[in-house]
């Protein structure tokens, strides 16, 4: 098992290749071996020259497919079609088990996996099991030392295009397009916004079947459940640390380096963890999003609110 694990997101889907003129081979570089086209930049191979040509776009900054309604551009027609759906208010695909709705059938299919406990796809190198083949393919990068995707602005390297995209967003972009509807909080990704929104609620809908633990996010429950199984698949190559989740593992690995990828856009502050940057940012806004339901106390971080709430418990 590789010691350093790149975070991969379950939201990322496989690249779909279509709309390519295979007769145009200008600036095309691939090696054909045993009726397979082999990429000269990484270990990807394909029987189709069209698929290979689209794959090569991953290693460039070329984004030939452009949206006619905004400045969005991308590397495949399938991604462009998905983006175009964001310009429509119609969410015709509705989950039968919760109030989730979406604009595309594949999004609903992916969402339905959350309601399933089956994990039929087993990794042959560790105990990991996945709900979908795509998730297993992303997981397999954990067992590889190959990092073919390189940042064009720094020396960062990673195993997946998803990780490269996240790196670019967090390290080289100041844009924060996602906004909270309850406060002035803004962030760089929808995932960060989702994690923030639950801080406005005291509901903890995700409950452990083994103990009385409950939490606000499904991902936190998944990490907690590994405590009961004893599973710690993430091993540090620098010390004897072993972790249950990739997020905690990456945070630990930064303690062995000077890497501080999260930077404040208001001052020179940098941090190893996104949560530290979020707490720091509140200093500049003066925002105190955590408020007591018993009195008028407000604070910047949730742990201070928890400490405050104990006072009301003691006084009862």
- Dist. CA 196–CA 181, nearest whole Å: 11
Enclosing domain of residue 69 = 48-87
Q: How many domains would you assign to the chain?
A: 3
Indicate whether 247 and 270 sit together in one domain: no
Residue 37 located in a structural domain: no
Residue 10 located in a structural domain: no
- Dist. CA 278–CA 187, nearest whole Å: 9
From 58, 87, 116, give the residue that closes a domain. 87
From 38, 72, 87, give the residue that closes a domain. 87
Residue 235 located in a structural domain: yes
Contact between residue 23 and residue 35 where contact means Cβ atoms under 8 Å apart: no
Contact between residue 266 and residue 284 where contact means Cβ atoms under 8 Å apart: yes
CATH of residue 60: 3.30.160.60
Rounded average pLDDT over 168-194: 86
Indicate whether 206 and 251 sit together in one domain: yes
Quote the pLDDT of residue 10: 33
Residue 173 located in a structural domain: no
Quote the pLDDT of residue 241: 83
- Dist. CA 189–CA 176, nearest whole Å: 8
pLDDT tens for each residue of 229-256: 777 777 777 788 888 777 777 778 777 7
Structure tokens at 222: 């998944």
DSSP for 4-46? S-----TT-------S--TT--TT--EEEETTEEEESSSS-EE
Percent of the chain predicted with pLDDT > 70: 88
- Dist. CA 210–CA 241, nearest whole Å: 25
pLDDT tens for each residue of 125-158: 887 888 888 888 888 877 877 888 888 888 888 8
pLDDT tens for each residue of 243-295: 877 777 777 877 777 778 788 888 988 888 777 888 888 888 888 888 888 89
Residue 27 located in a structural domain: no
Indicate whether 208 and 253 sit together in one domain: yes
From 33, 56, 87, give the residue that closes a domain. 87
Indicate whether 219 and 242 sit together in one domain: yes
Residue 253 located in a structural domain: yes
Quote the pLDDT of residue 34: 54
Residue 23 located in a structural domain: no
Residue 299 located in a structural domain: yes
């Amino acid at each position: 098992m590789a010691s350093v694990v790149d975070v991969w997101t379950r939201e990322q889907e496989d690249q779909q290749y279509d709309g390519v003129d295979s007769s145009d081979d200008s600036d095309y570089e691939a090696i054909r071996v045993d009726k397979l086209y082999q990429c000269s930049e990484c270990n990807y191979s394909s029987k189709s020259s069209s698929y290979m040509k689209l794959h090569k776009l991953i290693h460039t900054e070329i984004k030939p497919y452009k949206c006619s309604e905004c400045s969005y551009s991308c590397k495949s027609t399938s991604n462009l079609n998905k983006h175009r759906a964001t310009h429509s208010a119609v969410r015709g695909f509705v989950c039968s088990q919760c109030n989730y709705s979406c604009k595309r059938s594949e999004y609903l299919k992916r969402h339905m996996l959350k309601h399933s406990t089956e994990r039929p796809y087993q990794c042959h190198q560790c105990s990991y099991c996945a709900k979908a083949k795509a998730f297993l393919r992303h997981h397999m990068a954990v067992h590889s030392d190959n990092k073919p995707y390189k940042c064009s602005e720094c020396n960062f390297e990673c195993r997946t295009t998803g990780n490269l995209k996240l790196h670019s967003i967090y390290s080289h972009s100041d844009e924060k397009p996602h906004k909270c509807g309850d406060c002035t909080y803004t962030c760089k990704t929808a995932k960060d916004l989702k994690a923030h929104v639950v801080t406005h609620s005291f509901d903890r809908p995700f409950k452990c079947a083994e103990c009385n633990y409950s939490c606000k996010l499904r991902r936190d429950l998944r990490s907690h459940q590994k405590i009961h199984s004893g599973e710690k698949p993430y091993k540090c190559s620098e010390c004897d640390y072993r972790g249950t989740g990739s997020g905690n593992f990456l945070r630990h690995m930064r303690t062995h380096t000077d890497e501080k990828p999260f930077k404040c856009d208001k001052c020179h502050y940098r941090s190893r963890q996104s949560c530290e940057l979020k707490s720091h940012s509140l200093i500049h806004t003066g925002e105190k999003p955590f408020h007591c339901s018993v009195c008028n106390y407000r604070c910047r971080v949730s742990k201070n609110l928890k400490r405050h709430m104990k006072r009301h418990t003691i006084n009862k």
